[in-house]
Amino acid sequence: MIDLTGDDGATKLYYNGKTVVIYGVETKKYVTTPAPVSIQAMIEKNVGNGSLDFPLADFLTSAPDKSFLAGIKSGSEVTTVTIDGVPCRHLLFTQSPGVEIELWVEKNERALPRRLVATWRSEPGQPSFIAEMYDWDLSIHPTDADFTFQPPAGAVQTEAKIPTPAPAPKGARP
């Protein structure tokens, strides 16, 4: 189960190994779709087809290091900073075209991510995505019920809208 809060409101994602439910908290609308049995396959299906915009998906794959580093052109360690009392390595990566990714990871044996900032330098206004990751508790053992969506009062199920990909420009290769 994932809680997301962004400019477009709060969203909850529930995945139980059989279905994915995406619930808009403010709209009280949800979509249920069949899902593959692995987290990796679910992410590939839902992020890949455009039905889910989830910039942190790389951290949930079976090989997060490889997934995160895919497409990276350069990287370096900037410095060590303290976030919420924890020393963290500040890492800077670049992707083309014009994407800059900053990642702060704990400077200890856990090496958990604490902050991620992605900035699209080549886009007008240089938009950014910022994620703060905190309150890590790796001792929690959730039950299957924690991953099953129970519609709250007044929630309405809607049809999944899978976006149609735009045609490729002439001369573009797949």
Q: Which residues pair with 102 in a beta bridge?
A: 92, 117
Residue 172 pLDDT greater than 80, yes or no: no
What average pLDDT is seen over the chain? 85
Average pLDDT over residues 69-98: 93
* CA 84 remoteness from chain centre: 22
The Cβ of residue 22 has, within 10 Å, a number of other Cβ atoms equal to 23
Tell me what percent of the residues of the chain surpass a pLDDT of 70: 87
Q: What is the domain partition of the chain in residue ranges?
A: 2-157
2-157: what fold? Answer: outer membrane lipoprotein receptor (LolB), chain A (2.50.20)
Half-sphere exposure of 40 (CA within 13 A, CB side): 6
pLDDT (0 to 100) of residue 114: 95
Residue 167 pLDDT greater than 70, yes or no: no
Residue 127 pLDDT greater than 70, yes or no: yes
pLDDT digits (tens, 9 = 90+) for 45-72: 877 665 566 778 888 888 888 888 888 9
What's the pTM? Answer: 0.72
Residue 170 pLDDT greater than 60, yes or no: no
Cα separation, 62 vs 41, whole angstroms:
10
Tell me what percent of the residues of the chain surpass a pLDDT of 90: 45
pLDDT-derived band at 101, boundaries 50, 70, 90: very high
More confident residue, 166 or 16: 16
pLDDT digits (tens, 9 = 90+) for 137-160: 889 998 988 889 999 999 999 987
